[in-house]
Every structure is written in C-alpha cells, then in structure tokens.
Structure 1
Amino acid sequence: MRAMVVDAAGATPEVRAVPTPTAPPGGVVVRVAATGLCRSDWHAWAGHDDRVAFPHVPGHELAGEVSSVGEGVTRWSVGDRVTVPFVCGCGRCAWCRAGDAQVCPDQQQPGFSHWGSFAEYVALHAADTNLVAVPDAVDFATAASLGCRFATAYRALVSRARLSAGETVTVVGAGGVGLSVVMIARALGARVIAVDRNPDALALATDLGADHALVSGDTDDTDVPAAVADLTGGGSEVAVDAVGSEQTCSVAIHSLRRRGRHVQVGLLPPVAGHPRVPMARVIGWELDLLGSHGMAAVDYPGMLALIEQGRLRPQDLVERTIPLTEAAQVLPGFDRATLTGITVIDPAGGEEP
C-alpha cells in the first residue's frame, strides 16, 4: 500500500510502498477513504510523543470501509462504513466498561502507538469497543473530521465544561478545534468570543456564529483578557485553549470570570521541563482546570444525531482535500500554518510512488 512514512523525528516525510497491515485479533483493517491532518500529527512528526517508534506512519482521524475482520470481532463486517475515535480503548478495563475509553490506561492511538491512517489501509484494535458506524448521509471527509478535533470539542463543551445556554465561551485558536468549538457552542445556545492571530480564521469563526472576534499577536496578548472582560462584564464562564502553548493557555485562563471553567484541549509540549500555568489566578479565583482527551465511541450517537438533524454541520469546516504527496510537504510546517478550517487527505489520490 501507499503510505506517508517518517523515518526519524523531524525527518522529511516520504510517500512510498509499505506492507499492507493484517487485522489483529479483535480488530479490523480499514481502507482509508479520508483522514484529517492536524497539529497533533505535527507533534508526532516532531518527536514530542515518546510512544512513537520510527519509522512511523502518522494519522489518527480517519473514515473508510472495513476491508478485513480479525478473529473475535462480532459487530462489524467487510464493507461497513466506519470511523473511530483517535483514542481506542482496550475494551476490558474498568474505564472502558464504564464508557470512558478515552482515558483507558491500555489505549491504542493510530498514528501514535502504532502506524496510522496516512496510508491506504490502517489496522485498528478492539473493534467492537471502538468503531463507530458512519450514517449513509455523512460523507467520509466529514466523518474523518470528527475523530479528533470535532469530537474533542463536543465532549469538551458538553461533558467536561457542561456548557449551558446563555453562557459565554472564549476559545483561543480558530483552527479545526476552535472552529468546532464555535459551531458546537452556538448550537448549545452559548455566546462565543473567538481569538486568533489569523484574520481569515476569525472571519470564518464569525461566519460560523462567533459573537466577537479578537485578533491576538504573536508575542503580546495582554489586551485579550481585558477585552473579554469588557465584552462580558468580568470574563467568560468557559474558556478553551484550542492551540496548546504557554501563551494561549495563559490567555484563556486570564479571560475567565471568577469561578470559571477552563478546558485544555491543545497539547502543551514541554518547555524547560513543564509548561507554566498561571496557578495564582486559578487558586485566587477558584477556577476549574479541565482536560479533554477525545471522546469514546459510546458517546458518538448524540453528536451524530445532531449532525443528521442539521444542527451541527462539521462539513462546513472542511477547507480542502489533498493527496498524500502534498500532505507530506505540508506536515513539517503545520505548526506555523495559517489555514482556515480542516485539511483532509485522500490517501488514494495522487500518483503511485
């Protein structure tokens, strides 16, 4: 099969032929019809995740058809249209049995713990626990966009922050996660303040329903929390860092009102040990700091129902679809990209290597 291969941390990705995977016991192989490209894939490429063993095939947001089924799988058959959360639980532990596979201690993550979906085929484990049926009305590019950014944003607001209608959300970062936050928060009846350095991304956030858009600079964001306080009369009830840096985390936390809730979605790479968080504000204002790590397959039906009803339109977030060869060129600089919306890869597109 064709796959994007990274031979070492930070190495130039290459599209080349590699062996097609076989279905593991309890798992399946999926023919990848679409797979998302996001900042988490850049972290894997850069070597920020110690689970990644090189040479490596990235990719963790995917949708396609089951092409082969391993021993012990009972719920899925060849030809089924499926997607999968980027966190795949073991299906056996107490957390999986409670419906919290996203924090499974024995989790697998395609594109991190094993080869991922920047390929024509990908092997997935514990299929009966992790696969999600894709309705016929949802195309593969839209389904692929759900696996990390959209599903994570949905759970961050619904299950972690427990956002209520009438509250205000400040979302720092208007990339795939941030734009998903805007769309979902508006569907839940909340007000939204979007923050980003890219005016085009903020324009899209406004089109999706953001009530206010604030341009942030690369080095000086001290006015953003003050602007949020002015707009809200003291700060927002909920803040989301959808980027993942000391700066964006700090801006989000300082944008909260007293007793507010912060949700950290963007990965924080270590800087001189551990990222610094403004804990004096957290303690003094009794803020809640919440992590959000994807969403288990059992929680997908509620989100998919809203998509089928038209209340959520993740397809509007898909900006472009590119072949593997172009994705290999884009990945090394993805942390600096100023794209608006979600980029999806078509592994079958392009020429043979």
Structure 2
Amino acid sequence: MATMTGVMLPGDRTVRHVEREVPQPGPGQVLLAVKASSICGSDIRAIYREHLGHGPEAYQNVIAGHEPAGQVVAVGPGCRRLAEGDRVAVYHIAGCGVCDECRAGYMIGCTSPHRAAYGWQRDGGHAPYLLAEERTCLPLPEPLSYLDGALVSCGFGTAYESLLRLRVSGRDALLVTGLGPVGLAAAMLGRALGAGPVIGTDIAPERLAVARRLGLVDHAVPAGDGAAEAIAELTGGQGCSASVDCSGSAAARLLALRSTRTWGRCAFVGEGGQVTLDVSQELIHRQITLHGSWVTSLRHMSELLENLVRWELRPDVTVTDRFALADAGRAYELADAGTAGKIAIVAG
C-alpha cells in the first residue's frame, strides 16, 4: 500500500509530520491530489495553540488543513458528477446530508454525529492526497488557480456570506475591522459588490500595508485611539452603513458597531472572545441590525466561484507567503504571528 506524509497539529504550537496510507475512495467519494491547502485563523486559535473544541467538535488528531483544492485522481463507485482530471475546491464540512441545514447547503450547521470537518474530525488537505465526499466538491472554473479555490473553501466564502447577509451594494460605505485574510477578502469582495468607500482597520502595520499595496481599501486606519474619530471624519460624521468585524477582538467589534450609522447593518465574523456593550445606546436606540455569520453554503460558494471569474478577481493575490508541505512548521509560525496576509501550503 502506498504511503504519504501528512501534517498533524498536536497543540502547544507544534507541527508533526506523520506517515499515512494513501486512502482509496469508497462509494460517493473521490481521491484528490492536493494542489493547495491554506491556513485558517481558526486552525491557529483552536488547534495549533491549544485544542479548544469539545466532544464531536474537537480536533480528532487527523491530518490538518480545512482549506484544500486539488485534482481528482480516482473516483469511487456511485459518483455522479466528477471524473478523473477534474479540478475542484472543497467545502470543508461533510455533513449528514439529510438535516435541514445540510439540505439548505449549510453543512457547517449540521449537528448530526455524522458531521465531520476536513482537518478537524477527518483527514484534511495538509497531505499529498485527500479523500473527499463528492457532494462537498465544487468544480473550479478556469482561470482560477488551485490556490484561489483553496481560499474560497473557507476564508473568501466566509467573507462573501457576511456581505450577502448585510446586502452590501453600491449604496454602502463599508467598514472592515481586522485586515487578516478574511478581512482582506471582505474588502476585495465588498468593492466588487459596489461598496465605497471601503475602510479597513487593523492593529498590525504590516496588514494595513498589505491592504494598501493590493488596493483593497480606500482608507487604511490604524486601530486603537483615534480610529473611531478617523472613520467618522471619512464618512462625514455619519459612520458606515455596513460593517463587518473579521478580527474576533472585543475592541474591534465595538469599533465596528459604534462606527455603523443609524439604521445600518453590522456582522460579526471573527471567531472567539467576548464583547460587552451598552445594548440600548449602541444597538437598540440606533436601530442597528447585528448579524452573526458563520462560513457559507454550498450554493453561495459555487456562486462566488462563478462571480470571481466574472469580476476578474483572484483571491490568491492576498497570499503573502507560500510554503512546501515539508516546511509546514515555518508556515504555522508565520501565521501565528498575525502580521502577514494569507499563508498557504502548495504542491511543488
């Protein structure tokens, strides 16, 4: 039986390379040659540093990587759509397929014991090959690269979903707090949907510089003292009609809310942490609509792939550093530092 080397995350900021057999696809499954597998902030927060999940949500000591894209190299019995040679991006949750959330395409919300996330409860993309359910694979259209597909698998899909929830359009000034990979995606896609100006904030000068260099924001505002006043000045004292927090920071969440104009809409996307706010003054009296938005649906992920081609956008421009699988330790160290754009592991 052929073997391969994959990457596990045992915690305590450690990367472990392990040997595994190359899997064979069963009914309804395909085997992918992984071409790109990017690193998500959730991997850093909830697996790389320490294992935070509990019960069925816990990391199960599998091969990591929940943002994969690759090429089909073997097809199991019963597959109806994919064939060898097809290029695909992978929706990173394999749900039960029959609950209400799965039927709506939101397998992220599946609560069945059969639910398994790639890289969390079943082997993910940090390996040369990935065993995937056909129903979680979406065709990757030309001219998008495998790296584009990997980024859509979670980060860009998450950003797109939040903007759809906010109904962002050309009528909106958009604020993005947190210019990590998801924030960069939200800025890029918000502009494509017509928003302007697009204002971004972050505590890291390096990430502000990435957003400026890529031209994703009209204004890059350092977070901290003076940020709220700067945003108010840039919007004629009104604030932004739409805002999205991609940081998970309590301070950034409050900044997003407080910089949303009366009757505006705000979405929280960044995971983890807590926030305390004066509900009457900051939410109710200003008629703010606050959304919690978690990943995306199969339908919206497919729609996003099509729109990226139509808009002539390439998510991979947000990747600042690429590593070989053998250098996964360095890749995770850099991602953990929180100063770079997107970090990706790519096939040679």
- TM class by shorter chain equals 0.7 to 0.9
| 2:37 maps to 1:29 | no
Call closer, same or farther: CA 1:95–1:3 in 2, change over 3 Å.
Answer: same
Deviation at 1:330, TM superposition (A): 3.4
The structure-2 alpha-carbon separation of the partners of 1:195 and 1:53, relative to structure 1 and needing over 3 Å to count, comes to closer
Which of the numbers 95, 100, 106 marks the counterpart of 1:100?
A: 106
2:257 maps to what in 1? 253
* Secondary structure of the structure 2 residue equivalent to 1:329: helix
1:173 counterpart = 2:189: no
Note if contact 2:157-2:300 (Cα within 8 Å) is conserved in structure 1. Answer: no
Alpha-carbon displacement from aligned partner over 1:147-198 (angstroms, at most 9, x marks no partner): 111111112112x111121311111111211111111111111121110122
Q: Deviations over 1:189-213 (max 9, x none)?
A: 1121110122332233234241211
RMSD: 2.1
CA contact (8 A) 1:2 1:119 kept: yes
Say if 1:260 and 1:88 are closer, same or farther in 2 by CA, change over 3 A. Answer: farther
How many corresponding residue pairs? 334
Which amino acid counterpart does residue 286 of structure 2 have in structure 1?
W
1:342 matched residue in structure 2: 342
SS of the aligned residue for 1:309 comes to helix
TM-score (norm 1): 0.87
- Please name the residue that 1:193 is paired with: 199
Measure, in 2, the Cα distance between the counterparts of 1:24 and 1:279: 53
User: How far apart are the structure 2 equivalents of 1:3 and 1:187?
Assistant: 37
Deviations 1:277-304 (A, max 9, x none): 4252223323222122222222234322
| Residue of structure 2 equivalent to 1:213 | 220
Secondary structure of the corresponding residue to residue 312 of structure 1: coil
Determine if the alignment matches structure 1 residue 88 to structure 2 residue 94. Answer: yes
TM-score (norm 2): 0.88
The 5-angstrom pairing of residues 117-156 of structure 1 reads 117-125=125-133, 127-128=134-135, 130-156=136-162
Whole-angstrom distance in 1 between the partners of 2:205 and 2:31: 41
Alpha-carbon distance in 2 for matches of 1:150, 1:67: 26
Tell me the secondary structure at the aligned position of residue 18 of structure 1: strand
Task: Verify the 8 A CA contact 1:30 1:68 in the aligned structure 2.
Answer: yes
The secondary structure found in structure 1 opposite 2:14 is coil
**Offset at 1:53?**
3.8
Instruction: Note the 1:1-353 alignment, pairs <5 A.
Output: 1-6=4-9, 8-10=10-12, 12-42=14-44, 43-45=46-48, 46-50=50-54, 51-106=57-112, 107-125=115-133, 127-128=134-135, 130-158=136-164, 160-191=165-196, 192-206=198-212, 207-216=214-223, 221-232=224-235, 233-269=237-273, 275-280=274-279, 281-332=282-333, 334-339=335-340, 341-346=341-346, 348-349=347-348
What whole-Å deviation, never above 9, does each CA across 1:35-80 have from its counterpart, x for those lacking one? 1112111122221223234533221111101233334322222322
- Give distance in 1, aligned partners of 2:278 and 2:30: 44
**Offset, 1:11:** 5.2
The verdict on how the C-alpha distance between 1:116 and 1:268 changes in structure 2, with shifts beyond 3 A counting, is same
Q: CA deviation at 1:24?
A: 4.5
**Structure 2 match to 1:272:** none
Query: Offset of 1:21 from its aligned partner?
Result: 2.8
| Rounded Cα–Cα distance in structure 1 between residues aligned with 2:299 and 2:328 | 31
Opposite residue 213 of structure 1, the aligned amino acid is A
In structure 2, relative to structure 1, the CA distance for the partners of 1:11 and 1:170 (3 Å cut) is: closer
Judged with a 3 Å threshold, the aligned counterparts in structure 2 of structure 1 residues 78 and 90 are, in CA distance, closer, same or farther, namely farther
